[in-house]
């Protein structure tokens, strides 16, 4: 018997699917307004983080925050509306830039690694990715034993994605790459200290998974930065950037250098589209030891 949460989400999905697209997106903007201006979910945190990370745009922080909440509401509405039989309609709303980089990596005869962040509609990006590559494996953090986790996993799998649990995923990732398949990792989530390494992200040390750099080094597989941005007209553009070649070795210093390189790519994209990144996330929650943080501050000076 499905859990009550699953039944509720399925009902919402059916209701949004039945709406005309314009109406569904209108509801999405309303959800964003409710979260950002009425409930004010983590709004103080968002404004503080924007002012710290983008000091040159501090005066715009409230407008960027409003646009971010609106984007988040639209993301929710799109995920509910373009589900099931409507999935193809979303793919038709997406333009692809950089497909030649996919072909260049494929021509090498191996698999590919994808660098992802919570940028644009990262959830439905899987629909488009599955149209380019199949199968696509995504390393994800479990949402626990909740009905939400079961619903989310089932909906992603309907897109053609194969989800790999973040804990102990290394072996499965390597096997997939050896089968010439695609593995995507998300690098803009906070990690616990024992699972991550600290690199600079918007001028602050951020605990980040070294898994992408390590996998690239082990499998000798290039990394393709991939992200999708919503345009004002409601269409989306999937950007595939040129590949980052594998690290020359797997030493601790080299893995840190490449993890910093990937993180700098994400920061560049977020700076260009600050309204389409999830500033709600407590990205810098894990702090480094005091001596390491002091050393990082000295290096930035």
Closest CA to 71 of 119, 12, 4: 119
- In angstroms, the Cα distances linking 181 to 7, 81, 172, 190, 229 are 34, 29, 11, 27, 25
CB distance 49 to 285 below 8 Å: no
Q: Tens digit of pLDDT for each residue in 51-79? A: 999 999 999 999 999 999 999 999 999 99
User: What torsion do the CA atoms of 79, 30, 235, 278 make, to the nearest 10 degrees?
Assistant: -70
Mean pLDDT across the chain: 90
E strand spans, 209-266: 223-230, 236-240
What does residue 38 show for φ and ψ, rounded to 5 degrees? Answer: -100, -60
Q: Tens digit of pLDDT for each residue in 192-250? A: 999 999 999 999 999 999 999 999 999 999 999 999 999 999 999 999 999 999 999 99
Confidence of residue 134 (pLDDT cuts 50, 70, 90): confident
**Cα distance between residue 133 and residue 170, in whole Å:** 20
pLDDT of residue 294 exceeding 70: no
Confidence of residue 146 (pLDDT cuts 50, 70, 90): low
Confidence of residue 106 (pLDDT cuts 50, 70, 90): confident
Helix H segments across 164-203?
170-178
């Amino acid at each position: 018997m499905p859990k009550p949460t699953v039944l509720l989400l399925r009902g919402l999905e059916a209701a949004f699917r039945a709406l005309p697209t314009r109406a569904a997106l209108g509801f999405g903007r309303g959800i964003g307004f409710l979260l950002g201006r009425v409930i004010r979910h983590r709004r103080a945190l968002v404004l503080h983080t924007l002012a710290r990370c983008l000091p040159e745009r501090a005066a715009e922080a409230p407008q960027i925050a409003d646009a971010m909440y609106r984007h988040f509401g639209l993301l929710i509405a799109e995920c509910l509306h373009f589900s099931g039989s409507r999935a193809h309609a979303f793919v038709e709303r997406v333009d692809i830039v950089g497909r030649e980089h996919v072909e260049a990596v494929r021509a090498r005869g191996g698999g590919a690694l994808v660098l992802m962040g919570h940028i644009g509609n990262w959830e439905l990006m899987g629909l488009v990715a599955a149209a380019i590559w199949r199968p696509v494996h995504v390393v994800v953090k479990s949402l626990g034993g909740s009905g939400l986790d079961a619903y989310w996993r089932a909906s992603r799998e309907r897109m053609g994605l194969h989800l790999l649990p973040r804990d102990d995923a290394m072996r499965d990732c390597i096997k997939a790459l050896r089968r010439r398949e695609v593995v995507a990792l998300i690098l803009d989530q906070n990690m616990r200290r024992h699972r991550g390494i600290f690199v600079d992200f918007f001028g602050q040390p951020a605990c980040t998974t070294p898994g992408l750099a390590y996998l690239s080094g082990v499998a000798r597989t290039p990394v393709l930065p991939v992200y999708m941005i919503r345009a004002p007209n409601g269409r989306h553009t999937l950007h595939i950037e040129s590949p980052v070649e594998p690290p020359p070795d797997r030493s601790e210093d080299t893995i840190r250098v490449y993890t910093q390189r990937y993180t700098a790519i994400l920061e560049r994209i977020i700076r260009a589209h600050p309204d389409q990144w999830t500033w709600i996330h407590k990205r810098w929650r894990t702090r480094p030891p005091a001596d390491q943080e002091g050393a990082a501050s000295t290096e930035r000076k």
